[in-house]
């Protein structure tokens, strides 16, 4: 079972000052005088007394007027093996925060913030200061190669307090609006880069075929065409060619390559039932269901990086029983992605994923590098095998010929290309001009629009919806007033949490602002229902991420949320409390509407569905709960369509459009419309 993420946080400002001071004292990776480019010195650096170092003499790679290919060739030719291998290593923020000089000493190519790995003070300025302090370390090395900083801004910059938190991808898939996805990508890029990170491990272009998977909500839906269409988000994140270096664009990542969304139930890694499991398919079926969204991400949107999946592929035509981990899959990573598709970006491993490849660590490293992975998310140091051991092991593999130097040069060239095109050699530090736009009203308006367009109306008997603003409303259910639940995973912390408070509005807030009648709120429906009041019951799932969201795992009765706090098991069924709240309200209110806040379809038994007048799939709307009220009260019409099939029972899973015996409760693409 994967170890829990080590979450650390450096102390307060004093530690940050320590970071900056440490960078002053850092000894460059070699004794030669450090060659520095003109570095734009921001207020932070000048406050720390870091003087902009003049280049001792301009080198071709430092000339921004030269074509990137020439700059890469010149720089690569100057690098030692140690400097090349260091570029292929990515450490985690909390690990290097304790000793940032490791960045310079090892010549690390990148640092990431894993889910929830935030500076102690979770503000845009503290994020930018942290990234810039690490950047100082990288610039102090002999060749001054700048650092890439990566983060999972998978529904906006969800780790950052105050960021605009958009609906998770499953809700965006319900909008069927690729242009909206592009607009959201652009806002996400602006809010991410203004706070420091230049690399976003998003979007997931996974095709979720089994809703029992804990990452279903990270998918745009079950149809590869929908995933391909919505991958237009990449264009918003990166901009068009040549816009990478702007302060409102980031390097995007198409993930997880490939087939992460239709592994076989029961083959999950460790305790997981689905996540990181085995995809059993023919090459043609795999191409249609798993690979096609990558073709779009590469050919249409020029995605700059790709992240392989933890999962494995087992070809049916070769006779099952020989699953190969995607992180060691040369036929797909090098053969299909790089050679056949002409992907010229960089392939970044997933979190310690190579440790799942059979064999010793040396064999795992060699297998993955030789398969075509270019940079390695080996977050830790010390007792847990991580980036220091990775560097040693890969260096030895090159020296003994297990890994050819040509493969190292290819990987490093891809990494340097991304850094040149992001403009990091000329502007290595955070450009903070947009920092005040983070969470702005304009950004939140786009998120609110996305929320409204993501709502899918599944039942509307007696024309219950839209409600009239004059109506009295009775609101019940566990998810009505919980911004943590409506934001879901990858929010402030990796797993998310029902108790999280982020700026924004809950669904109840939205109802209160839209209704002019009396609004009564009673989560368990214990308060009397006023005569004539219309009922709205908001039910659903608690937040989760990755395999912790898998249904049916050995942890059926135990689901460690943040810090191991027990959470009720995820079952795709409504809780008893929510079911009772629905029955109580539907028996007493003039009409009753049920909203399902969840990362996937939940089972609505027939006898319960009969009691419900209107049923809405609300997915995980994020910070702007008012968008739900906009369609409830007719400010906008319902336009959403199911991005995944809605099953009658969990026994139907996996169930997808195109299945021969297709008999769902609501079909893929279904959604009732109302006029505004």
Active site members? 350, 546
Residue 555, CA atoms < 13 Å, CB-side half-sphere = 22
Surface-to-core class of residue 101, CB atoms within 10 Å of its CB (0-12 exposed, 13-18 middle, 19+ buried): middle
315 makes contact with ligand GLC (CB under 6 A): no
Question: E strands within 196-294?
Answer: 199-200, 253-257, 278-281
Instruction: Give yes or no for a contact between 52 and 38, defined as CB atoms under 8 angstroms apart.
Output: yes
CA distance 506 to 497: 14
Nearer to ligand GLC among residue 312 and residue 464 (C-beta): 312
- Residue nearer to ligand GLC on the CB measure, 115 or 239: 115
Compare residues 201 and 387 and give the one whose CB is closer to ligand GLC.
201
Smallest gap from Cβ 112 to ligand GLC, in A, equals 6
* Angle subtended at Cα 25 by Cα 22 and Cα 26, rounded to the nearest 5 degrees: 80
Rounded least distance, CB 115 to ligand GLC, Å: 5
Task: Using CB under 6 A, count the residues that bind ligand GLC.
Answer: 8
Residue 198 contacts by C-beta under 8 Å, 6 or more apart in sequence?
A: 148, 149, 250, 251, 422, 424
Give the side-chain half-sphere CA count within 13 A for 558. Answer: 4
Would you say 542 and 562 are in contact if contact means Cβ atoms under 8 Å apart? Answer: no
CB 349 within 8 A of CB 62: no
Shortest Cβ 94–ligand GLC spacing (Å): 12
Spacing of C-alpha 424 from chain mean position: 23
| 479 touching ligand GLC, by CB under 6 A | no
Give which of 167, 191, 192 is closest to 181, Cα–Cα: 167
Tokens of 486: 């409506």
**In 212-350, which residue ranges form alpha helices assigned H by DSSP?**
224-230, 233-238, 283-286, 292-299, 330
Among residues 221 and 647, whose Cβ is nearest to ligand GLC?
221
- What letters, b where the CB count within 10 A reaches 16 and e where it falls short, cover 25-59? ebebbeeeebbbbbbeebebbeebebeebeeeeeb
Measured from the CB of residue 353, what is the shortest distance to ligand GLC in angstroms? Answer: 8
Told to check if 105 binds ligand GLC by CB under 6 A, we report: no
Q: How far is CA 598 from the centre of its chain?
A: 17
**Contact predicate 637/672, CB 8 Å:** no
**Which residue in 152, 222, 471, 613 binds ligand GLC (CB under 6 A)?**
152
Q: Are 260 and 310 in contact (CB under 8 A)?
A: yes
Is 201 a binder of ligand GLC (CB under 6 A)?
yes
Identify the three-state secondary structure at position 643: coil
* Selected binder of ligand GLC within 86, 100, 107, 115 (CB under 6 A): 115
The two tokens of residue 464 are 């219950």
Q: Report the distance separating Cα 315 and Cα 323, nearest Å.
A: 8
In this complex, which beta carbon is closest to ligand GLC, that of residue 129 or of residue 546? Answer: 546
Least gap, CB of 463 to ligand GLC (angstroms): 42
What are 398's two structure tokens? 């090159």
Closest contact distance (angstroms) between CB of 474 and ligand GLC is 40
351 part of the interface to ligand GLC, by CB under 6 A = yes
* Least distance to ligand GLC, CB of residue 152, Å: 5
Binding track, positions 518-557, relative to ligand GLC; x by CB under 6 A: ----------------------------x-----------
Question: Does residue 601 bind ligand GLC (CB under 6 A)?
Answer: no
Token pair 């006023």 is found at 530
Cβ–Cβ < 8 Å for 112, 134:
no
Q: Is 255 in the site for ligand GLC (CB under 6 A)?
A: yes
Nearer to ligand GLC, 110 or 623 (CB): 110
Q: Which residue among 248, 350, 378, 613 contacts ligand GLC (CB under 6 A)?
A: 350
Query: Residue 19: what are its φ and ψ, rounded to 5°?
Result: -60, -50
Question: What is the 8-class DSSP label of residue 624?
Answer: B
- Measured in degrees and rounded to the nearest 5, phi and psi for residue 346 equal -110, 145
* C-beta closer to ligand GLC: residue 107 or 115: 115
> How many CB atoms within 10 Å of residue 319?
8
Q: Which two tokens stand for residue 212?
A: 């029992």
Reading the block at residue 384, the tokens are 């847990």
Query: Which has the closest alpha carbon to 157: 434, 425, 506?
Result: 434
Using DSSP's 3-state secondary structure scheme, residue 651 falls into helix
CB neighbour list of residue 21: distance below 8 Å, 6 or more residues apart? 48
Comparing CB distances to ligand GLC, the nearer of 336 and 351 is 351
In terms of DSSP bridges, do strands 312-315 and 253-257 run parallel, antiparallel, or are they unpaired? Answer: unpaired
Q: Residue 490 interacts with ligand GLC (CB under 6 A)?
A: no
User: Which residue from 386, 408, 410 is spatially nearest to 397, judged by alpha carbons?
Assistant: 408
Window 39 to 98, contacts with ligand GLC (CB under 6 A): none
User: Cβ closer to ligand GLC: 93 or 246?
Assistant: 93
Q: Which is nearer to ligand GLC, 351 or 619 (CB)?
A: 351
Based on the shown chain and the rule CB under 6 A, indicate whether residue 114 belongs to the binding site for ligand GLC: yes
Q: Give residues in contact with ligand GLC (CB under 6 A).
A: 114-115, 152, 201, 255, 350-351, 546
């Amino acid at each position: 079972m994967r170890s829990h993420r080590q979450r650390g946080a450096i102390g307060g400002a004093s530690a940050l000052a320590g970071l900056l001071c440490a960078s002053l004292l850092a000894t460059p990776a070699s004794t030669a005088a450090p060659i520095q480019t003109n570095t734009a010195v921001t207020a932070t650096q000048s406050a720390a007394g870091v003087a902009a170092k003049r280049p001792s003499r301009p080198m071709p790679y430092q000339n921004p007027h030269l074509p990137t290919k020439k700059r890469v060739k010149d720089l690569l030719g100057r690098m030692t093996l140690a400097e090349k291998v260091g570029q292929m290593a990515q450490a985690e923020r909390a690990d290097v925060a304790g000793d940032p000089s490791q960045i310079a000493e090892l010549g690390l190519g990148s640092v990431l913030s894993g889910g929830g790995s935030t500076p102690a003070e979770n503000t845009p300025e503290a994020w930018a200061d942290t990234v810039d302090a690490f950047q100082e370390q990288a610039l102090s090395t002999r060749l001054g190669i700048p650092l890439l900083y990566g983060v999972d801004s998978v529904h906006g910059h969800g780790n950052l307090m105050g960021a605009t938190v958009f609906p998770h991808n499953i809700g965006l898939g319900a909008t069927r609006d690729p242009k909206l996805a592009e607009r959201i990508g652009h806002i996400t890029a602006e809010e991410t880069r203004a706070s420091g990170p230049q690399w976003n491990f998003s979007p997931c272009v996974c095709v979720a075929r089994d809703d029992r998977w804990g990452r279903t909500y990270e998918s745009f839906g079950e149809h590869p065409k929908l995933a391909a269409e919505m991958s237009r988000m990449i264009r918003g994140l990166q901009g068009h060619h040549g816009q990478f270096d702007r302060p409102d664009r980031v390097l995007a990542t198409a993930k997880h390559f490939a087939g992460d969304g239709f592994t076989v139930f029961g083959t999950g890694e460790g305790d997981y039932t689905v996540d990181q499991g085995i995809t059993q398919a023919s090459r043609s079926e795999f191409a249609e269901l798993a690979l096609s969204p990558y073709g779009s991400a590469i050919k249409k949107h020029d995605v700059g990086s790709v992240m392989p999946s933890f999962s494995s592929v087992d070809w049916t035509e070769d006779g099952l029983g020989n699953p190969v981990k995607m992180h060691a899959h040369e036929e797909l990573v090098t053969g299909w992605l790089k050679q056949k598709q002409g992907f010229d970006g960089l392939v970044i491993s997933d979190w310690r994923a190579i440790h799942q490849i059979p064999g010793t660590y040396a064999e795992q490293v060699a297998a993955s590098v030789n398969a075509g992975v270019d940079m390695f998310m080996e977050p830790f140091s010390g007792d847990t095998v991580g980036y220091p051991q990775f560097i040693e092991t890969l260096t030895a593999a090159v020296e003994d010929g297990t890994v050819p130097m040509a493969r190292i040069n290819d990987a490093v060239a891809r990494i340097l290309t991304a850094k040149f095109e992001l403009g990091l050699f000329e502007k290595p530090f955070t450009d903070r001009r947009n920092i005040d736009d983070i969470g702005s009203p304009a950004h939140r308006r786009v998120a609110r629009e996305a929320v409204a367009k993501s709502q899918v109306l599944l039942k509307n008997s007696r024309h219950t919806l839209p409600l009239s603003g004059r109506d009295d409303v009775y609101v019940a259910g566990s998810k009505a007033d919980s911004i943590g639940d409506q934001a879901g995973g990858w929010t402030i912390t990796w797993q998310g949490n029902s108790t999280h408070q982020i700026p924004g509005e809950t669904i109840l807030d939205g109802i209160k602002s839209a209704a002019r009648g009396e609004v009564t709120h009673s989560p368990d429906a214990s308060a009397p229902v006023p005569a004539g009041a219309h009922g709205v019951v908001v039910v659903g799932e608690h937040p989760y991420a990755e395999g912790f969201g898998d249904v049916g795992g050995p942890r059926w009765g135990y689901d460690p949320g943040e810090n191991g706090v027990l959470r009720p098991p995820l079952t795709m069924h409504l809780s008893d409390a929510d079911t009772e709240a629905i029955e109580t309200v539907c028996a007493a209110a003039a009409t009753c509407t049920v909203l399902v806040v969840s990362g996937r379809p939940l089972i609505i038994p027939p006898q319960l569905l009969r009691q419900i007048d209107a049923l809405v799939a609300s997915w995980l709307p994020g910070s702007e709960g008012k968008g739900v009220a906009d369609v409830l009260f007719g400010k906008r019409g319902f336009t959403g369509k199911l991005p995944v099939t809605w099953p009658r029972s969990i026994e139907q899973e996996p169930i997808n459009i195109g299945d021969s015996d297709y008999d769902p409760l609501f079909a893929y693409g279904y959604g009732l419309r109302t006029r505004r």
